[in-house]
Amino acid sequence: MQTWVLISEIVRNLGLALAALVGAALAWRKLKPELTQAGSAASQAELARRAHVTELFNRAAGQLGDERLEVRLAAIYVLREIGRDFPDLSDPIFELLQAHLRERRSRYEELEPPIDVKAIIETLRMRISADEPPHPI
């Protein structure tokens, strides 16, 4: 009699294990498209974010030449933040600000540089100091 109890427990445990495996396979099968959809949604969100940043970059680049100081300063600060948040865009921002600085240099020559030029210089210094390796102590 005990043999039959042991056999029935083994069969029952095997049945439960098989049911758990089938349940896990069915759950994975149902979950897989949702994971794919979530990944696709995340990719689309990242593309939308990049498109927004590209628009901000283009707008700020155009505003660097604006005649109003506050617009130029805002453009510099926007470019600075984009460079911080998106390291792959820091090189084009660095080059853009350098080119703008070279163009503006002839306008003030020996005089004190304007506030926006000082902001560009500060941004470029921040970038250069971030690129430098730490000094040994």
- The pLDDT value recorded for residue 131 is 67
Please give the pLDDT value at position 72: 94
Q: What is the residue-level pLDDT of the chain in tens, covering all 137 positions?
A: 678 778 888 888 888 999 999 988 888 888 777 777 777 888 888 889 989 999 999 999 999 989 999 999 999 999 999 998 888 888 999 999 999 988 877 666 667 888 888 899 898 888 777 766 544 55
Per the CB < 8 A criterion, the answer to whether 103 and 116 are in contact is no
Residue with tokens 């926007």: 78
pLDDT at site 63: 95
What pLDDT score was predicted for residue 107?
67
- How many beta carbons lie within 10 A of that of residue 86, not counting itself? 16
Domain boundaries, the chain: 2-131
Q: 3-class SS at 67?
A: coil
The pLDDT, as a whole number, for residue 106 is 64
How high is the pLDDT of residue 62? 94
CA-to-CA distance for 115 and 119, rounded, in angstroms? 6
pTM of the model: 0.63
Helix (H) or strand (E) holding 89, with range, is none
